[in-house]
Each structure stands twice: as C-alpha cells, then as structure tokens.
Chains A and B, each alone.
Chain A
Amino acid sequence: MSRKGCLGCSLPVLVIIIVIVLAVGVISLLSGALGKALVGDVGLPELFTVDPPHVQLPAEVIVHDAIGGFDITNTLIASWITIVLLAGFAWAVTHRIRVIPSRLQGLLESALEWLLNLCNDVAGEKYGRRIFPVITTIFLFVIMNSWLSLIPGFGSVTYATVEHGEAHVVPLLRGANTDINFTLALAIISFVFVEYLGISQGGGLRYFAKFINVRRFGQALGQLVRGKVKSGLGGLFMGGVDMFVGMLEGISEMIRVVSFTFRLFGNMLGGEILILMMLFLMPWLLAVPFYGLELLVGAIQALIFGGLTLVFATMAVMTHEEHEETH
C-alpha cells in the first residue's frame, strides 16, 4: 500500500479525519459560551450543555473529621494515588531486577540516570550522589501529581452534596499540586533539607556565621580597643555592612519557602482555571492545545522545584569549602 499522499494517509482517510474534526469543532462551538454569544441557543441535547465554571480555591473536603479532627480532601486522595502508582511502579521494576534490563526497568533506569547526571553536574561528584534522593523524590512526585490530574476522570467524577443548605457538586479527585497545603509542605521539606545539609557539612555554628556575620565587626572593635582608631573605624563601618548583608541573606533564605510555594501553586492552579475556562468557552476543541500546555508546564515546574532545591543545596555546601574546584 502506498504510504505517500497528504500527511502520510491516503486521501479517503484524510477526508474522514477532516470531516470528524470539523464536526467536533462545530458541536463544541455551538455548545460552548462562544457559540451562545455568536449564534444563540440552538437547542442541543442535554449531553452537550456546559455549566458555568465554578472555581474553588481551597481543596474540597470529602470526609470530615476522619482521624481526630483531620479532614480528608480530594487533593489528599489524589496524592495517595500518586504515591501508590510511584511505589507500585518502582516495586514492579525492582523486585526482579536483572543485569540486562527489561523495558520497564530500562525506562526507570534512564530517568534516574538523567536525574543523577543533573545532580552531579550541578553539585559536583562529591555531593551529587548525596543530594540525589531528595531531588528525585521531589521531581517525580511533582511531575506525577501534575500529569495525573490531566487524565480524564480527574475532576469529572463528582458526587453531589448539600452543604449549608445549597446543593454542591464536589469532584472526587483533584490534582494535588493545586492545594496550597501540599506545595507549602514540599517547600518546607526542601528548606529544611537545604539547612540540614549546610549545617551537617559546615559544622553547626559555622553555617550560621554566614547570616550573622560579626567577624569583621568584632575585629574592628578589637582594633579600636588596641588604639588603632582609623583602621578600627573603617573596619567598624565595613563590619556593619557585613552584618546587614548577612541579615538580608537570611531573610532571602526564608523567603524561598514562600516563593517555592506560590510558584508551584500558582502555576498549577492557573493551569486548572485556564482549562476550566477553555472548556466553558468551546468544550471539545479549544481545550486540546491547553492540555498540551499543561503537560509542558507540569514537567517544567517539577524540574524547576527539583533544580532550584539542588542549586540552593549546592550553594549551602559550597560556601563552606571556599573556592574548591568542582567542575
């Protein structure tokens, strides 16, 4: 059979594909909000109508007070599914591990090798392997969370509740990255990991000397006491500048938690709202490119979170070994 022709298909197949795409496009135009504004209500059956979108910022609670006052939200259930999938995949690959890898094992090996190369490139040979587990966990967790929320069924499987006297439709599953509690927890984990690495490598108090930099100030005071007034005063001034810069570094270190949280949360929530609005405007056709965008954004945000944690961890250990050759 000749595979030449338009776009690799034979002409009849191409015509059928174009007809189907046009039909889907016309139906989506007519049943969405754009169509209602342009053409008016055509009277399509109940199946094709789209409700006005209702954006819910906090994650909806599925089970109230499940364990001692702790609510179970739909994002929590979604993150459990991610955990089960990731752990199940890892177990399935490694419980019969072979020297010549099977295809699934090869997939996991290539992903982990790519991440290990990234860690080694940024952090050097000595620390790359140590930092690798946390970075891989963060990366795989974030990317699996954000990609799972694109599978049909996430957000569409709903159940109706009556809350505060009005009927609500609550989705059973929602992407875990859209919950600010989850991103805040991940940011705190990353922050604590970086600080722990800095303290354990630099040795306790030497790490905090970066933020409370009283060395030059103390030296200048010593010089003043010994009678060298001019250099003492100059050193006093420079010491004051050092202390101020150290305080600024400390503040910027803690702002990282806020910045990590809102970067991931804002990107994922924005993507969810974007797809919701596109589904409202033109249900079937217009959302397809935005699903592609969400795939890309999810992967990039996972890389950003993991990569930035890696960079900050590297900076935390590198300051202790001053100007050591790593590259």
Chain B
Amino acid sequence: MEGITAETMRLLAAGIAMGLGAIGPGIGIGILGSGAMQALGRNPEARGPIMTNMILAIAMAEAVAIYALVVSVVLIFVA
C-alpha cells in the first residue's frame, strides 16, 4: 500500500468539486421554484409567462452546477 497518492487526491477532489458545487444551485433552484409557486397561486391565469421564465431562470442556475460537473469529470478522466 502506498498511502495517499496523487491518484487518491484526484478522485477526492472530483468528489468534493461536484458535492460542494451542487449546494448553491440546489438552493437557488428551490428558491426559484418557491417564487414561481407563490406567483402561480396568486395569479393562475399568468401560467404561461411564469412557467417560461421559471424554466429559463432554473436553467441559468443549473448551469453553475454543470460547471462543477465538468470540472469533476475532467479531473477523473482527463487530468
């Protein structure tokens, strides 16, 4: 057994990158959904614009989690 090697740290870094990187977007998407639900509850007729804008904003928040995913995948498979 060699102890902690560079390979070990790479895998650990990949896990930490994705794990920590998913906290922010997860909370952000939850806040967006909550705002959309409240708006929908107040004004059910405005369903179209509310849903469209919610999907757009959720994809923007999710993109940050995807950046973390790309870093993690690069760490495992390329670096």
Contacts and interface: CB of A to CB of B under 8 A. Distances in A.
A262 B21 CA distance: 15
Contacts of A263: 59, 62-63, 66
B40 interface: no
Nearest to A268: B66
Contact of B56 (A57, A259, A307): A307
A108 B59 CA distance: 26
B22 to A, nearest CB: 12
Given A301-B59, A304-B56, A267 B74 contact: no
Given A265-B70, A266-B70, A300-B55, A57 B78 contact: yes
A55 B78 CA distance: 10
Interface in A39-92: 55, 57
A270 B77 CA distance: 13
Interface string B67-79: 1011001100110
Given A57-B78, A273-B73, A262 B56 contact: no
B56 A266 contact: no
Nearest to A267: B66
A303 B55 contact: yes
Interface in A276-293: none
A308 interface: yes
Contacts of B67: 262, 266
Contacts of B56: 303-304, 307-308, 311
Contacts of B70: 262, 265-266, 269
Interface residues of B, number: 14
B59 A300 contact: yes
Nearest to A266: B66
Contacts of A303: 55-56, 59
Nearest to B68: A266
Interface string A232-275: 00000000000000000000000000010011011101100100
- Chain B residues touching A, majority SS: helix
Contacts of B55: 300, 303-304
Interface string A283-327: 000000000000000001101100110010000000000000000
A252 to B, nearest CB: 13
Contacts of A269: 70, 73
A270 B78 contact: no
Nearest to B66: A266
A164 to B, nearest CB: 17
A64 B23 CA distance: 43
A57 B74 contact: yes
A304 B59 contact: yes
Contacts of B59: 263, 300-301, 303-304
Given A263-B59, A301-B59, A57 B73 contact: yes
A55 B77 contact: yes
Contact of B69 (A266, A304, A308): A266
Given A303-B55, A308-B56, A57 B63 contact: no
B39 to A, nearest CB: 18
Contacts of A267: 62, 66
B71 to A, nearest CB: 9
10 contacts: A263-B63, A263-B66, A266-B63, A273-B73, A301-B59, A303-B55, A303-B59, A304-B56, A304-B60, A308-B60
Going nearest first, the 8 A-B pairs with the smallest beta carbon separation are A266-B66, A304-B59, A263-B63, A266-B70, A57-B77, A266-B69, A270-B69, A262-B70
Interface of B: 55-56, 59-60, 62-63, 66-67, 69-70, 73-74, 77-78
Given A266-B70, A301-B59, 8 more contacts: A57-B73, A57-B78, A262-B63, A262-B70, A263-B59, A270-B69, A303-B55, A304-B59
